Amino acid sequence: MSLSKAGFDELFDGTTKSVFRLETLPVYNPVSEASSLKSYLDGEPCPRVGVTTPYMQEIKDQTSRGIRRYRVHVVHSPLTDYLRYEMEWGYTFTSQAGEEILILDTAEHGRPEGLFDEDFWFFDETHVVRMDYREDGEILGKELLADPDLGHYRAQRDLALAQAVPFNEYWSAHPQYHRD
């Protein structure tokens, strides 16, 4: 069933153990993030320096209560401009807020057999929200699966986690992608 923003927010608010995210696209929301990406590429200063966004505050609040917030982004280097932007202006700050971010670079580690190109959120290992995107990466919607195959989503998570490296380790090892 299609999930509203309020319904999606309720899943975050109601989680008690963990929130996992699997990302598999090389670009997300190119229309809605176009001006931020342009600012990044133009060398402007990051607007998140010294700022705690509502999303970062949510991460801090949940992790302080012992809820694990983690994600794996499956990429294939060389990184696109968008991925560089997402890592430098996004992951750098959300990881400081407490989100465990891992990168699976299939150019470096290969793609785990059986790992699908399937973007989803996994709440408390019981609720699955499948993300639907246009071919260009702009979001179309979110679908709360009524009767998800939980074993499938656990397996997808575990396949990605098995070969992924922590974001800070990946980012430190790849200074060629840093803007500065």
Residue 29 has pLDDT above 90, yes or no: no
Domain that holds residue 101: 5-177
Instruction: Give the length of the chain.
Output: 180
68: number of Cβ within 10 Å: 14
Global pTM reads 0.94
The two three-digit tokens of residue 8, written as one number = 């999606």
> Could you report the per-residue pLDDT of 49-73, keeping only the tens digit for each?
888 999 999 999 999 999 999 999 9
Q: Quick one: pLDDT at residue 58?
A: 94
CATH code at 16? Answer: 3.30.870.10
> Could you report the per-residue pLDDT of 80-103, keeping only the tens digit for each?
999 999 999 999 999 999 999 999
Which H or E element spans position 71? strand 68-75
Q: Quick one: pLDDT at residue 30?
A: 83
Residue 180 has pLDDT above 80, yes or no: no
Number of domains in the chain: 1
Rounded to an integer, what distance in angstroms lies between the CA atom of residue 15 and that of residue 9? 10
Rounded to an integer, what distance in angstroms lies between the CA atom of residue 60 and that of residue 140? 28
